[in-house]
Amino acid sequence: MQKRIFALAGVALAATLTGFSGAGERAPQRAPRHLSLLIGAGNYKYASEWRDLKNLKGPRTDVRRMQHALRRWGFRDGAASQRVLVDQQASKAGITAAFRWLASQATDSSDVVVIYYSGHGSWAPDQNIDAIRTKDEARSAPGDNYDEALVPWDARDPHNPRHLLLDDEINTFLRALGTGNVTVIVDACFSGTVTRGSPDTSSTAPVARGPRPPPFERIAAGDMLGDGRNPKHTLLTAASSSELAYEKTFHPGAVVSGVFTRHLAEALDGASPNNRFDDLLQQVRTKVGQGQTPQLEGDRAARIFKVGETAVVPARGYSIVVGAGPGRVGLDAGALHGVRKGTLYDVYGPDETDFRDGRLAQVRVDSIFEASSFASILPGARPLPRGARATVSRVPAGAMALDRLRLFVNPNARALRDSLARVPWLELTTQPARAMAELRRRGGAYQVVVEGHELPPLVADISSGRAAPVSADSVRGYRGNVRSLCTPLRRAYSIAAMNLVRNDQPPSNLKVEVRVLPASTRPPAARPRTSVDTVYIGQRYDIWVWVEVPDEAVQRSALYLTAGVAGYGGAPAVVWPRGPEQTRLTPEQMNQPVLLREIAPSLPEGIENIKVVVSSDPYSLRPLVTELPRCPVDTTRDASRGGPDGDAGAVTGWTAVTRRIEIYSR
């Protein structure tokens, strides 16, 4: 039985909304309104007094990213149709006032409402349990005696119901809306720990967005929207009731974002107007990865935000252009939106939705900040009107240059800091949030940790004496010298480099799926429901890839595929192409599974990432792997390095996906 994780997480869309205004009268007929309420609470007023929660860094950027993504779907910026509350503004009184504003505006059943929250979730003893639960319900879920809640900025005690915004209160606000077309998005968790990432305390691991939960029995997830609740409502949450919702640092730019929000916004940017909520969920789940499973409740088969067939949804996500001096413009998108230096944007008029004909100018990005960027106008441009829209035209090919691996040396490993500072392809940082990897000491062993996962010694490390003996508490690691640590740091470098091989604004008509299945097993027609495959040491498996393009585009599509193993659980390697040269995918290899290679997992147990890139440019991961730093360390080596093939070339369309595998011994 599953607990109603938030009657917010049901937001309990427990609201029995009527489609009428709070006064019970339908408002006069008018044009439908698109209304949004965006809430981000991270820098809490009383966080220093809390025992089991701490401040979050991501909600502020989450709100800005979601605001940008919603624009394409008709949710405009501005006080007339949108309220944005961040930190001090997200007090309990501020949130309450914003819900009242929402009720005053959403007065017709044709209105469309999105409510978004990023911050801490919490729980408190249920103050109204007898009123909302029957005796039969109490017997079937005896431990469900808690209200889930949002934690406002000024909550002094994150478990005191008077200081929280309880699910019952939110349901009251929802009942006041005059429309049933309400989508609630929650990037928070209502279970978790104060540590960064399950039992791991690595400073580079994700941060959980919720306190340690009370013990409870679970009730069926389907009950969240049962008992007469409005079937038109949709709820998207960052994780299930038994999981954590994380925030983490995304490189480049060291932007901290909610993992769920980051990938949801990307999916909204690339979704087709005909995509359904369940299509959106599948894309987000695939990208979010291990340990966090986004949830969807409501009409799964409905179009995103219930847009009608006649609704005009721009064909692509776009940014707003502003003047920035002679020959230059600014864009309201930056590092947190995935903007990359050298990207070309096409600029159109302020009402353009197709982004095919009528281009006014083309600009090239040369400066990037967290939420904005600047670009040079290329020759041949026409005058740009106020509110002009810019869409990605071409992106730099392949990975961005990774000159150095940004490493945080934990204080317990500081004895090696001076030696590591002389390694030319390492950049030591004192800011854990900016690090791509961490070096720490546990017992007598040193460990290299990437995104909360320690890189275990390989067979070659053990046989060569680089790995430290396993201590009494089963710690795996390396000996305390630079020569021994070179190989795991090299693997960390490979992982960081492959993480930079991505396109945050991929074309919506190019989809890629990856599966790892037992050898000789034909992939099922259905898409995978998770982003992780499980494999066992000593058995053989096949790596399969689907490249999906519109049927009418198969014959004219010129696409190339490359795939590689990142280096979490083994040496970095390329699995496709098999030879040194790239070859185009044939029409017969599109829109159906393609077998890349057979693999046979070996020790150690752990995880591994498989990166797959499909591009209109003959890009290969092979140079990235072959040009990794050498071991043993050469401290005289020039550290100036570029990404594979550099960034000189540009391509008209490409996408990259990552598939995680978990490796176990039986």
User: What tens digit of pLDDT does each residue of 43-74 get?
Assistant: 999 988 887 778 898 999 999 999 999 999 99
What are the structure tokens assigned to 556, written together?
């004219």
Burial profile 439-454: b = 16 or more Cβ within 10 angstroms, e = fewer: bbbbbebbbbbbbbbb
How far apart (Å, rounded) are the C-alpha atoms in residues 86 and 342?
32
Element (H, E) at 259: helix 259-270
Please check whether residue 241 is in contact with residue 2, taking contact to mean a CB–CB distance below 8 angstroms: yes
How far apart (Å, rounded) are the C-alpha atoms in residues 662 and 608?
7
Q: SS3 of 310, please?
A: coil
How far apart (Å, rounded) are the C-alpha atoms in residues 279 and 267?
9
Please check whether residue 516 is in contact with residue 610, taking contact to mean a CB–CB distance below 8 angstroms: yes
Q: SS3 of 480, please?
A: coil
The reported pLDDT for the residue numbered 240 is: 78
CA 560-566-571 angle, 5° bins: 120
Please check whether residue 1 is in contact with residue 140, taking contact to mean a CB–CB distance below 8 angstroms: yes
Amino acid at site 254: A
Residue carrying structure tokens 């508490």: 473
Please check whether residue 483 is in contact with residue 633, taking contact to mean a CB–CB distance below 8 angstroms: yes
What are the structure tokens assigned to 392, written together?
């990605």
How far apart (Å, rounded) are the C-alpha atoms in residues 260 and 384?
35
How far apart (Å, rounded) are the C-alpha atoms in residues 603 and 582?
31
Please classify residue 470 by burial: count the beta carbons closer than 10 Å to its beta carbon, then call 0-12 exposed, 13-18 middle and 19+ buried: middle
Residue ranges for the chain with pLDDT beneath 70: 1-28, 126-146, 190-232, 241-242, 251-254, 289-290, 395-401, 469-474, 504-505, 508, 525-531, 633-653
CA 98, 101, 107, 113 torsion-angle sign: negative
How far apart (Å, rounded) are the C-alpha atoms in residues 172 and 167?
9
CA 290, 291, 292, 295 torsion-angle sign: positive
How far apart (Å, rounded) are the C-alpha atoms in residues 157 and 457?
44
Three-state secondary structure along 154-184? CCCCCCCCCCCEEHHHHHHHHHCCCCCCEEE
Element (H, E) at 379: none
Roughly what angle, to the nearest 10 degrees, separates helices 59-71 and 259-270?
10
Residues in Cβ contact with 581 at an 8 Å cutoff, skipping those fewer than 6 apart: none
Q: What share of the chain is helix, strand, coil (3-state, %, to 5)?
A: 20, 30, 50
The reported pLDDT for the residue numbered 65 is: 94
Residues in Cβ contact with 524 at an 8 Å cutoff, skipping those fewer than 6 apart: none
- The residues facing 657 across adjacent strands are 612
Residue carrying structure tokens 């709070």: 22
- Tell me the DSSP string of 30-73: ----EEEEEEE--S-TTGGG-SS----SSHHHHHHHHHHHHHTT
The DSSP bridge pattern shows strands 207-208 and 246-250 to be antiparallel
Strand residues in 401-529 grouped as ranges (E): 405-409, 426-429, 437-442, 445-450, 453-454, 467-468, 477-478, 511-518
Q: Please confirm whether the linkage preceding 158 is cis (ω < 30° from 0).
A: no
Residue carrying structure tokens 């995935």: 338
Amino acid at site 174: L
Please check whether residue 363 is in contact with residue 342, taking contact to mean a CB–CB distance below 8 angstroms: no
CA 226, 230, 232, 238 torsion-angle sign: negative
Amino acid at site 211: P
The reported pLDDT for the residue numbered 257 is: 87
The DSSP bridge pattern shows strands 182-187 and 112-118 to be parallel
Please check whether residue 337 is in contact with residue 351, taking contact to mean a CB–CB distance below 8 angstroms: no
How far apart (Å, rounded) are the C-alpha atoms in residues 180 and 13?
10
How far apart (Å, rounded) are the C-alpha atoms in residues 371 and 333?
5
- The residues facing 659 across adjacent strands are 610
Three-state secondary structure along 94-148? HHHHHHHHHHHHCCCCCCEEEEEEECCEEEEECCCHHHHCCHHHHHHCCCCCEEE
Residues in Cβ contact with 593 at an 8 Å cutoff, skipping those fewer than 6 apart: 515, 522, 523, 544, 545, 546
State the Rg of the chain over Cα: 25
How far apart (Å, rounded) are the C-alpha atoms in residues 321 and 633?
47
Read off the DSSP letter of residue 326.
Answer: T
What are the structure tokens assigned to 61, written together?
């950027």
How far apart (Å, rounded) are the C-alpha atoms in residues 232 and 182?
7
Q: pTM here?
A: 0.69
Read off the DSSP letter of residue 225.
Answer: G
In 3D, which of 235, 275, 113 has the Cα closest to residue 180?
113
Amino acid at site 639: A
